[in-house]
Structure 1
């Protein structure tokens, strides 16, 4: 018997990310001025991406275009295209702001939102996906697939534009992350490098994982097929998940098995411990 798929009502993707864009933009500009003053070699880049722009959307378009533009679509063509998309779909800009704050809060190596905007390819990759998803859902699939291929080639992150991804997403490092066509990733999820949300063969239809809110997926984990990772689940590094994972549960191994409960919000805590003793000792 085929597994019953969850109704659309159960898929929780953010509609109004909790981010004050004006406050975030002012913070980014203040940080940009400090870095430009401290590092003259970066001043031209920082001026181009942040200080010369009037809005966060403008800065976002400039950063993405600088990063992935190529000869077949130069920056002079890509940047206006991105600005047009952001104007028609401001939700993408809000989601990007939410992602920046999520990275800053969860990554111990990240001290300000300015850092992922300029330096973190995981953030760039997710934002490029959001633009590609917009094109995919507006019957411009060739352009969506082109952006996907650019992201894969330049950033080593391959997210199909048809996938459905919420906000507050952190792709930590981002290297070799693959997210398939029918995957669903809800809000406030943390995914480390070399993670695959893949299918199991040539079947069509809904064939990729569903990842609920608050989940953390450890480095190198492979989630295969239409498995569902329940809210605040945790997947141990290097695990292969081929069965559903209950909410608030930690699994690890090949194939993955339940090893302990998970803390309230693994995606926010970013704790790599597997057993209850880890939490009791803290």
Structure 2
């Protein structure tokens, strides 16, 4: 079992921030599931056998496999696969929290995405997972004050995956970034553990302000496709933001907001919308009628 804890509470947030808090994850078990499905895939899909062999079956663990997958995806004339692979392997080997975080992300995707029944598939094919993993590496370079490399990997992720996350942003574990295209995260944004995010979401600023100027997204939040959250607003724990909404003010915990600008339209459909992925917007009046009908 490995711990994913790696950061402390972010300055500028009055409340404790849950960023990869101690929650053990059995990385070895996730890896066993990846290998088992890889063997099945290699046997049933000959066209993918070389890919599966290179990324999974010839590797000793999830960290090594992730280094290979990302080096294949991100390689270019600037930095070849032969140059990228040892760099990524060393970062992952020296920072096991990144591998543990990736394992939690894989687990989250399998649990929340009905289109995914194996952690192999995100590792090989899901650009949301690969983009978050690239961010985690760029974030480690940022923490080590290797800012040029951090920006380099940010730009690679933007070009290859269509996802632009500033390496200084703080992002927790158990993140499901579904579809991922056009996901943008600003420098001082904070995303806590166990958050689910659809495509075209922006966590942005409101202009040229400096300091803590990007949103805080608390644990259990579900951000619908196309949501734009601007400024140092806080999306409370277990809240839901409807698709296409523009959020300019704090969102209370366990509430649902929608619209342009977004307003509270009711309560969240569950304690943790991120986990059940229910994107329906049920306003309070409708909820009350349904409750009265069920009791009559």
Q: Whole-Å Cα distance in 1 between the matches of residues 241 and 207 of structure 2?
A: 22
Q: Whole-Å Cα distance in 1 between the matches of residues 176 and 138 of structure 2?
A: 18
Can you list the C-alpha shifts for 1:159-181, whole angstroms capped at 9, x where unaligned? 00000000000110000000000
Can you list the C-alpha shifts for 1:119-168, whole angstroms capped at 9, x where unaligned? 10000000000000000011100000000000001110000000000000
Q: Aligned match of 2:171 in 158, 165, 168? A: 165
Residue 19 of structure 1 deviates from its aligned partner by: 1.6
Q: Structure 2: state its 5+ residue gaps.
A: 1-10
Residue 278 of structure 1 deviates from its aligned partner by: 6.9
Structure 1 residues 278 and 18, CA, compared in 2 at 3 Å: closer, same or farther?
farther
1:266 aligns with 2:287: no
Can you list the C-alpha shifts for 1:159-217, whole angstroms capped at 9, x where unaligned? 00000000000110000000000000000000100000000001111000000000000
Q: Aligned match of 1:180 in 186, 190, 213? A: 186
Contact kept in structure 2, 1:218 and 1:235, CA below 8 Å: yes
1:28 aligns with 2:50: no
Residue 247 of structure 1 deviates from its aligned partner by: 0.3
Q: Whole-Å Cα distance in 2 between the matches of residues 55 and 77 of structure 1?
A: 20
Residue 233 of structure 1 deviates from its aligned partner by: 0.5
Q: Aligned match of 1:230 in 210, 216, 236? A: 236
Secondary structure, counterpart of 2:279 in structure 1:
coil
Contact kept in structure 2, 1:132 and 1:147, CA below 8 Å: yes
Q: Aligned match of 1:96 in 98, 102, 116? A: 102
Contact kept in structure 2, 1:36 and 1:42, CA below 8 Å: yes
Q: Whole-Å Cα distance in 2 between the matches of residues 108 and 26 of structure 1?
A: 21
Contact kept in structure 2, 1:17 and 1:95, CA below 8 Å: no
What RMSD over aligned residues (CA atoms) do the two structures have, in Å?
1.6
Q: Structure 1: state its 5+ residue gaps.
A: none
Q: Which runs of 4+ in 1 moved over 4 A?
A: 276-282
Contact kept in structure 2, 1:216 and 1:267, CA below 8 Å: yes
Pairing of 1:110-259 with structure 2 (within 5 A): 110-259=116-265
Pairing of 1:19-98 with structure 2 (within 5 A): 19-98=25-104
Secondary structure, counterpart of 1:10 in structure 2:
coil
Secondary structure, counterpart of 2:123 in structure 1:
helix
User: Which residue pairs with 1:6 in the alignment?
Assistant: 13
Secondary structure, counterpart of 1:238 in structure 2:
coil
Contact kept in structure 2, 1:17 and 1:94, CA below 8 Å: no
Q: Whole-Å Cα distance in 1 between the matches of residues 12 and 190 of structure 2?
A: 12
Contact kept in structure 2, 1:17 and 1:167, CA below 8 Å: no
Residue 17 of structure 1 deviates from its aligned partner by: 3.9
Q: How many residues align?
A: 278
Contact kept in structure 2, 1:172 and 1:193, CA below 8 Å: yes
Q: Whole-Å Cα distance in 1 between the matches of residues 12 and 251 of structure 2?
A: 15
Contact kept in structure 2, 1:212 and 1:229, CA below 8 Å: yes
